[in-house]
Structure 1
Amino acid sequence: MEKSIETKKRAVGIVVLSALLYAFYPPVAKILLHHCPPIILVALLYLGTGIGMLIIFPIISWLSPKKHHEQSIQKSDGLTLVGVIVANIIAGILMNLGIEYSSAASASLLGNFEVVATTLLAAALFHEPVSRKLWLAVGVVFVASCLLSIRNFEKFTISWGAILVILATFCWGMENNFTKVLSKRDPLQVVIVKGLGVGVGSLLISVLSHENWPSLKTILIAGLLGFVSFGLSIFFYILAQRYIGAAKTSAYYAIAPFLSVILAIVFLGETITFQFIIALSLMIIGSYLVTVAN
């Protein structure tokens, strides 16, 4: 019994670590975008994810004995993987542009709109049932997102950075629905293929867009950020999920945007407005409603 409680505590610690690692993405990306074009940054982040996870794949297999029973990716998954890769390329570009044209704190909070996007797409395209609590959560997050999307209420000026982030979450919402088809496959194989696929695809687009390459230092930092915030974060998320289940893991992981806001305020010195505080409060309520709705 004590061992079981101890295991659960460790799992909670692991998922909080997963959330913290992802939380570094928006504020660090905000800094990198001063030295690196947005499309190349997408490529570097995902290549860092794919290559990094591929290198530590044997270690992960050793740490997770159950992994040997995972189903490998099949040829029949090809079309779904293409959809996942394309959705992530578009989402990554939109998100980086959104971070560039808005504050890292606002972009972090708007990441919660992914819940709205995923729910709407699942209900509209896949006819999935949605509970009243989840619809309420969607409504609260939607209102908070609207607050963050309006720069000036008197002149009704829209924050295009916020709009770009919201569009990115719709792409990730579509990807979430695609990923359900791959839920029975080895998740780490999916992460590696997705990372390499999105990385190479974004790289080709950046070449066609004639983006200028950043310095070697920026390339290495971007690759490391991708490995840590996307690769290791996903690995720890999956590891925690095995011990405390999907619902509890997603509930604890929901702190990621709020950790990111703290990092943006502390390290970037971003200012917080009264409008932002209201949106933050609504996002916290919305995130709580999502967890109790699951």
Structure 2
Amino acid sequence: MHRSVAYALLAAILFGASTPFAKMLVGAMSPLLLAGVLYLGSGVGLTLIRAARDRGWTPSGLSWREWPWFIGAILFGGALGPVALLFGLTHTSGAAASLLLNLEAVLTAVIAWVVFRENADRRIVLGMLAIVAGGAVLAWPSSAEDGSAGTWMGSLAVIAACLCWAIDNNLTRKVSTADALFVAGIKGLTAGSVNCALALSLGASLPAASTLAATLAVGFLGYGISLVMFVLALRGLGTARTGAYFSIAPFVGATVALLMLDESSTPSLWFAAALMAWGVWLHLTEHHEHEHEHEPLEHSHPHIHDAHHQHEHDDAWDGKAPHTHRHVHAPVIHTHAHFPDIHHRHPH
């Protein structure tokens, strides 16, 4: 559980820290082209790492039942979401959009709870609300200073982008047992290609080579490695909890901007930090235990032989080192502390 929490927090830190760097690059190219190059940095970098690791291109490991979920995640998260956000930003203020983007965590959790029946007790709900409230507090001062008013169309477009990414998060959970490098890399390549093609068709021009290289590097870390960590966190925490931890990204971004751009801190920054820290603490101290039933399950993911993995191997193996292969879980009923990970998606 703690390793999965570390993955989720690292994903938030990398994505949040990339925001001030991305802001520094905004003037160098159009927003749509910038989004495309950031995603391409993610997709190309992760694909090269996977090819080097596997010494060439290897199968994805996705079963035919998982491909529809993955294609849906690419469609909503890689294509529709960024386009909706871009449209929204052209019709509303940046500060208002930042405030509205906090809805992503809420919508992610609501879909996970209502549609996919993921478990959440009052402690988890309260923790998520505290983290989202911290993000709202963080965005509120700039919203108050900005007197511009966006149209209702712009606000609806930003909300639509949040809904697209919330759907993406829940669909990605369905394929979180697959190779995280493959999942994140293909999503980055798709989103990058779509956004870059759209930007160039609308007349955008490429920046200088040094700026292009810097943007690709920011995308690789802030969008690529971050997404790999997010997928790994989904395996152990489920969608709602991973989304809640990831919601600390705005605070990380504000803190990095404070250090890098020599901006002055405000009371709202520290109030937001306190709310988010409280929310994370509520999640870290959660204890969920009851008798539950595991139905027969077949999938593939890195694992060791523990209470949930007692299968036989055809070849000699010491049973200690993590390994990956397709395996079958026999039905079992037992009691232990658990989270809505890839082995505990039972109803409550």
TM-score by length of 2: 0.61
Q: Which residue of 1 aligns with 2:221?
A: 228
Choose which of 259, 275, 278 in structure 2 pairs with 1:282: 275
Q: Which residue of 1 aligns with 2:28?
A: 35
Q: Which residue of 2 aligns with 1:80?
A: 69
Contact 1:50–1:192, Cα closer than 8 Å, also in 2: yes
Choose which of 144, 153, 169 in structure 1 pairs with 2:134: 144
Higher helix share: 1
Choose which of 182, 186, 197 in structure 2 pairs with 1:189: 182
AA aligned to 2:167 is M
Q: Structure 1's 86 and 14: CA in aligned 2 closer, same or farther, altered over 3 A?
A: closer
> Does the alignment pair 1:125 with 2:112?
no
Percentage of pairs with the same residue: 26
AA aligned to 1:117 is L
Contact 2:43–2:188, Cα closer than 8 Å, also in 1: yes
Contact 1:45–1:223, Cα closer than 8 Å, also in 2: yes
Number of corresponding residues: 272
1:292 to partner: Cα distance:
3.4
Contact 1:19–1:256, Cα closer than 8 Å, also in 2: yes
Q: Which residue of 2 aligns with 1:264?
A: 257
Q: Which residue of 1 aligns with 2:19?
A: 26
Q: Which residue of 2 aligns with 1:171?
A: 164
For structure 2, the residue ranges without an aligned partner over 5 or more in a row are 287-338, 340-348
| Alpha-carbon separation, structure 1, partners of 2:213 and 2:201 | 22
Contact 2:40–2:188, Cα closer than 8 Å, also in 1: yes
| Alpha-carbon separation, structure 2, partners of 1:138 and 1:207 | 39
**Which fold has the larger relative contact order, with Cα–Cα distance below 8 Å and residues 6 or more apart in sequence?**
1
1:102 to partner: Cα distance:
4.5
Q: Structure 1's 116 and 95: CA in aligned 2 closer, same or farther, altered over 3 A?
A: farther
For structure 1, the residue ranges without an aligned partner over 5 or more in a row are 1-7, 63-67
Contact 1:29–1:96, Cα closer than 8 Å, also in 2: no
TM-score by length of 1: 0.71
1:30-54 per-residue CA deviation (whole Å, 9 max, x = no partner) reads 1111212111112111111111111
Query: RMSD between aligned alpha carbons?
Result: 4.3
Which structure 2 residues correspond to residues 244-255 of structure 1 after superposition, within 5 A?
Answer: 246-247=236-237
Contact 1:113–1:141, Cα closer than 8 Å, also in 2: no
| Alpha-carbon separation, structure 1, partners of 2:134 and 2:9 | 24
Contact 2:88–2:156, Cα closer than 8 Å, also in 1: no
| Alpha-carbon separation, structure 1, partners of 2:285 and 2:104 | 17
SS at match of 1:172: helix
1:157 to partner: Cα distance:
7.6
Q: Which residue of 1 aligns with 2:331?
A: none
Q: Structure 1's 135 and 278: CA in aligned 2 closer, same or farther, altered over 3 A?
A: same
1:165-216 per-residue CA deviation (whole Å, 9 max, x = no partner) reads 7765443222111112212322221112111111112123223443343333
Deviates more, 1:198-207 or 1:251-260: 251-260
SS at match of 2:61: coil
Which of structures 1 and 2 has the bigger CA Rg? 2
1:135 to partner: Cα distance:
1.7
1:230 to partner: Cα distance:
2.4
Q: Structure 1's 156 and 55: CA in aligned 2 closer, same or farther, altered over 3 A?
A: closer
AA aligned to 1:125 is V
